[in-house]
């Protein structure tokens, strides 16, 4: 593409390309003409007119909340108490957890998401159920048992000690088994005692390559409650910092109401942020400052945050992400300083950007030789309206933008895991 407005670093587009896969890994990506010259007799699957791209990466989602998506009418703390906690109590039952994990993973795959960073519940068996299913599909997934020892119903509470022991057992059982990885997962500052957060820090020290996954500064009432619970801390992020949770593989969801020094601290520790636009709009939490994260070169991925998020579709998440950047402009002191999110940047965030936020760009995120062949076939003419819009678009960027605004699971024609099409 020769459009001068395109951020050329962020993408590679081959109009008539061919992708070859060997033993589940990308072998080559080249033009069809070049491939035919060197392999005149080779047979291949023909996806002419379709778009093949790397599988989407969802950097923040809760599998136990699948069944309570679209629960009406509250801000974060009321929503948690009214809908979320009663739903999560059911995951004490491993059979229930397995059924929901199966449904959840199929939803991800139908929507073209091949890797996700996932919350379980407080119950260790919820994580066993999740990883067992993810293993059956041979997926690259990250999950963890929620650590929470206060400010929730008794049935959902562990203790600092038991959360350490249960998490440790799960790490030993699952971390780096096949394509699976573990995330130490304190829910958020409000539901952990200082002692429990210290135990989370101890786990990170003992297992230096596991992830830290939690929520940060999503909602104003949450920030205020956190400050009241931790009066000796110098703000929300400092609560995590005092437990040594800020590290390279730390992923913080939301990060909306941050102070200036908190942005700097996140940058200093090379932490990642999950931008969850459908959730942030649904719960009325606020507008993430993507441009600021970019200016500071902080790693960012997109997250659906189901069940506060309203769609499993990363395309629909990018649709809302665009609108968040538009709204930021409406409320900015200097609107001309705010750039709305571009289509190329959007698809970058959903693929390689997400992979970088999860430190998985050595394995997934694009079609470099040797990477794991998780990819999707998009039929961008799958709906009448999108077809009409694509046919009236001229540049690649225009077409991708239409796909991001109008597309959803209907356009995901096939999802491939390690080179094999998934049967759903």
Burial 83-95 (b: 16+ CB within 10 A, else e): bbbebbbbbeebe
Residue number of the CB closest to ligand GUN reads 308
Q: By CB under 6 A, which span of 76-84, 102-110, 294-302, 334-342 interacts with ligand GUN? A: 76-84
Q: Which of 201, 137, 198, 168 is nearest to 420 (CA)?
A: 137
Q: How far apart are the first and last CA of the chain?
A: 35
Angle between helices 94-110 and 124-136 (to 10 degrees): 40
DSSP 8-state symbol, 141: E
**Residue closer to Fe ion (CB basis): 274 or 364:** 274
Residue with the two structure tokens 């506060």 = 308
Residue 279 CB, nearest distance to ligand GUN (Å)? 5
Using CB under 6 A as the binding rule, whether residue 212 contacts ligand GUN is answered as no
**Residue closer to ligand GUN (CB basis): 74 or 102:** 74
Using CB under 6 A as the binding rule, whether residue 188 contacts ligand GUN is answered as yes
Residue 421 φ/ψ, nearest 5 degrees: -70, 140
Using CB under 6 A as the binding rule, whether residue 149 contacts ligand GUN is answered as no
Residue 415 CB, nearest distance to Fe ion (Å)? 24
Residue 108 CB, nearest distance to ligand GUN (Å)? 17
Residues 303-342 that bind ligand GUN (CB under 6 A): 305, 308
Using CB under 6 A as the binding rule, whether residue 76 contacts ligand GUN is answered as yes
DSSP 8-state symbol, 93: S
Residues 254-293 that bind ligand GUN (CB under 6 A): 279
Residue number of the CB closest to Fe ion reads 305
Distance from chain centroid for Cα 250: 13
**Residue closer to ligand GUN (CB basis): 223 or 360:** 223
Q: Which of 65, 60, 70 is nearest to 86 (CA)?
A: 65
Binding mask 82-111 for ligand GUN (x = CB under 6 A): --x---------------------------
Residue 214 CB, nearest distance to ligand GUN (Å)? 8
Binding mask 35-74 for ligand GUN (x = CB under 6 A): ---------------------------x------------
Angle between helices 384-391 and 396-406 (to 10 degrees): 160
Residue 278 φ/ψ, nearest 5 degrees: -65, -40
> Which of 218, 238, 320, 397 touches ligand GUN (CB under 6 A)?
218
Using CB under 6 A as the binding rule, whether residue 185 contacts ligand GUN is answered as no
Residue 258 CB, nearest distance to ligand GUN (Å)? 15
Residue with the two structure tokens 């041979």 = 138
For the chain, state the CA radius of gyration.
21
The CA distance from 245 to 247, in Å, is 6
CB half-sphere exposure, 209, CA atoms < 13 A? 8
The CA distance from 186 to 253, in Å, is 12
317's contact among ligand GUN, Fe ion, none, with CB below 5 to 8 A by partner kind, is: none
Residues that bind Fe ion (CB under 5 A): 253, 305
Using CB under 6 A as the binding rule, whether residue 123 contacts ligand GUN is answered as no
Q: Is the dihedral of CA 416, 12, 271, 291 positive or negative?
A: negative
> Which of 133, 175, 179, 187 touches ligand GUN (CB under 6 A)?
187
Positions that interact with ligand GUN (CB under 6 A): 62, 76, 80, 84, 187-188, 215, 218, 279, 305, 308
């Amino acid at each position: 593409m020769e459009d001068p407005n395109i951020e050329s670093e962020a993408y590679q587009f081959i109009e008539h390309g061919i992708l070859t896969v060997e033993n589940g890994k990308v072998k080559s990506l080249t033009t069809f003409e070049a491939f035919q010259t060197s392999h005149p007799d080779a047979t291949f699957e023909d996806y002419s007119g379709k778009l093949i791209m790397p599988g989407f990466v969802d950097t923040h989602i809760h599998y136990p909340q699948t069944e309570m998506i679209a629960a009406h009418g509250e801000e974060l703390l009321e929503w948690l108490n009214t809908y979320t906690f009663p739903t999560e109590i059911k995951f004490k039952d491993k059979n229930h957890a397995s059924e929901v994990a199966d449904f959840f993973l199929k939803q991800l795959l139908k929507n073209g998401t091949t890797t996700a960073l996932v919350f379980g519940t407080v119950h260790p068996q919820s994580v066993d159920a999740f990883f067992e299913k993810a293993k059956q599909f041979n997926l690259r997934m990250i999950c963890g048992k929620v650590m929470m020892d206060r400010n929730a119903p008794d049935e959902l509470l562990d203790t600092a000690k038991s959360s350490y022991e249960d998490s440790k057992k799960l790490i030993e059982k699952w971390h780096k088994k096949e394509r699976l990885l573990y995330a130490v997962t304190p829910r958020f500052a409000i539901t952990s005692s200082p002692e429990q957060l210290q135990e989370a820090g101890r786990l990170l020290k003992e297992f230096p390559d596991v992830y830290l996954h939690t929520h940060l500064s999503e909602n104003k009432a949450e920030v205020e409650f956190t400050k009241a619970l931790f009066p000796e801390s110098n703000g929300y992020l400092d609560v995590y910092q005092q437990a040594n949770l800020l590290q390279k593989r730390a992923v913080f969801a939301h990060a909306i109401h941050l102070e200036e020094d908190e942005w700097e601290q996140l940058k200093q520790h090379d932490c990642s942020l999950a931008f969850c636009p459908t959730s942030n709009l649904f719960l009325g939490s606020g507008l993430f400052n993507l441009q600021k994260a970019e200016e500071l070169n902080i790693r960012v991925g997109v997250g659906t945050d189901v069940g506060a998020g309203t769609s499993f579709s990363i395309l629909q998440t990018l649709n809302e992400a665009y609108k968040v950047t538009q709204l930021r402009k409406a409320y900015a002191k200097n609107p001309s300083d705010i750039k709305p999110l571009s289509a190329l940047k959007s698809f970058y965030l959903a693929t390689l950007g997400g992979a970088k936020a999860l430190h998985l760009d050595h394995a997934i995120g694009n079609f470099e030789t040797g990477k794991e062949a998780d990819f999707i076939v998009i039929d961008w003419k799958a709906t009448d309206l999108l077809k009409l819009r694509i046919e009236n678009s001229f540049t690649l960027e225009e077409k991708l933008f239409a796909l991001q605004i109008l597309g959803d699971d209907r356009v995901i024609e096939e999802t491939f895991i390690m080179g094999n099409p998934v049967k759903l």
